[in-house]
Amino acid sequence: MSQLNILTLPDSRLKTVAVSITEINDDIKQLAQDMLETMYAAPGIGLAATQVDQHIQLVVIDVSEEKDQPLVLINPEIIEKEGIQTHEEGCLSVPGIFAKVKRADQVVVKYQDIDGQHQELAATGLLAVCIQHELDHLKGIVFLDHLSLLKRKLAMKKLEKAEA
Ligand code: NI
Summarize pLDDT for 116-152 with one digit per residue, the tens: 999 999 999 999 999 999 999 999 999 999 999 999 9
- Is residue 7, in this structure, part of any structural domain at all? no
Residue 44 covered by a domain:
yes
> Is 134 considered catalytic here?
yes
The answer to whether residue 35 sits within a structural domain is: yes
Q: Give me the number of domains the chain comprises.
A: 1
Alpha carbons 46 and 80: distance in angstroms, whole number: 20
Band (18; pLDDT cuts 50, 70, 90): very high
> What's the CA-to-centroid distance between 142 and ligand 1, angstroms?
6
Distances (CA, A) of 135 to 66, 112, 146, 150: 23, 14, 14, 24
C-alpha 26 to ligand 1 mean position (Å): 25
In a domain, 43, yes or no: yes
Any domain includes 51: yes
CATH number of the structural domain spanning residue 72: 3.90.45.10
Given a cut of 80, is residue 163 above it in pLDDT? no
Residue 71, pLDDT > 80, answer: yes
How far, in Å, is the centroid of ligand 1 from the Cα of 27? Answer: 23
pLDDT confidence of residue 160: 87
pLDDT one-digit tens code per residue, 36-63:
999 999 999 999 999 999 999 999 999 9
Identity (one letter) of the amino acid at 65?
Answer: E
Q: Which of 23, 120, 134, 163 is catalytic?
A: 134
In a domain? residue 5: no
Q: Is 137 or 158 the better-scoring residue by pLDDT?
A: 137
Domain that holds residue 110: 12-163
CA of 130 from ligand 1 middle (Å) equals: 8
Percent of the chain exceeding pLDDT 90 equals 94
- Is there a domain that residue 33 lies in? yes
- Domain-embedded: residue 155: yes
